[in-house]
Amino acid sequence: MELAGRQQRALVAALLASLLLWNLPLGGLVMYPFKLLATWIHELSHGLVMLVTGAGFSRLEIFRDTSGIAFAEHGVGSAARAAIASAGYMGASLCGGVLLVLGQSARGARRVLLGLAAALVLSLIFWVRNRFGVGAVATGAAALLLAAWLAPRTLALFLVNFVAAQACINAVLDIRVLFRPQLVINGAVVDASDAHNMAAHTFGSHTLWATVWLVFSFVCFYAALRIIYLRQKRAAAAPAAPLAAAEPGASRAPTTP
């Protein structure tokens, strides 16, 4: 029960902090590294689908304005292009939901932090190429690694819940950009956003696909919270563990006849 209470407090605190910081004058500075992490998740999701679809994953770049871009090595067909276009926002939302579910125990939280640090290092070795991106990813990997090793249990739980919440929330906030006619990456206007590319290789408009991805983000967030709630409900309803039995051969108090 104590552990479940700690998990609930960490989750609630992370969600409240996320909502408050986005609305405080200096909250953007606190959220900046987490926004960069969310951009990394988004672009890496594009890149992984590039690998799966045969497009190849050439490099990944992250910029100071928290925008980013992933580059393919080869041209592919319309179906593969559609999968790649949808991977960024859907991948970030799905990743956030998975992190929320996996990070609800002290051991799980530390494993999530180590896993994220390892993924950042691997991406740094194979794909991240621009100077700012290299610095941001290396710093993030070091910070998560230190947190996994040194952070107290409660802080590790809070940090994982906070990172996961940011992945979900940033996916929702970023999708709003898709409703605009143009997209800006590293200060330059890009004619086609992910939603435009999705519409070009499937059907409908960029507004339709931005709406679909927005709904998907909310569904992922809700599903993760629902899974956590049901898991904690089952844990609370489970009977208390019996006291440990006496070890074999241990002496027992004599009984009176």
Q: Tens digit of pLDDT per residue, the chain (257 long)?
A: 444 556 667 667 777 776 677 677 777 788 899 889 989 999 999 999 999 999 999 999 999 998 899 999 998 999 999 999 999 989 998 998 899 888 888 888 899 999 999 999 999 999 999 999 999 999 999 999 999 999 998 888 888 888 887 777 776 666 666 666 566 676 677 767 888 889 999 999 888 998 898 889 889 888 988 898 888 888 778 765 454 444 344 434 444 44
The pLDDT of residue 68 is 92
CA torsion 189-83-202-195 (nearest 10°) is: -30
Tell whether 71 is covered by a domain. yes
The pLDDT of residue 182 is 60
Sign (positive/negative) of CA torsion 102, 106, 111, 113? positive
- For residue 254, the number of C-alpha atoms closer than 13 Å in the C-beta half-sphere is 2
Helices (H), 65-176: 78-102, 106-126, 131-150, 153-175
Tell whether 243 is covered by a domain. no
The pLDDT of residue 21 is 75
Residue by residue, DSSP assigns 175-196 as: HGGGGSS-EEETTEEES--HHH
Tell whether 130 is covered by a domain. yes
The pLDDT of residue 256 is 42
Q: State the Cα–Cα distance between residues 225 and 59, nearest whole angstrom.
A: 34
Query: Tokens for 156?
Result: 């590790």
The pLDDT of residue 104 is 82
Tell whether 253 is covered by a domain. no
Tell whether 250 is covered by a domain. no
Tell whether 80 is covered by a domain. yes
Tell whether 196 is covered by a domain. yes
Measured CA angle at 96 (ends 67, 22), to 5 deg: 60
Total domains in the fold of the chain: 1
The pLDDT of residue 54 is 94
Would you say 8 and 232 are in contact if contact means Cβ atoms under 8 Å apart? yes
- Domain range for 144: 2-237
Tell whether 257 is covered by a domain. no
Local structure of 120: helix, strand or coil:
helix
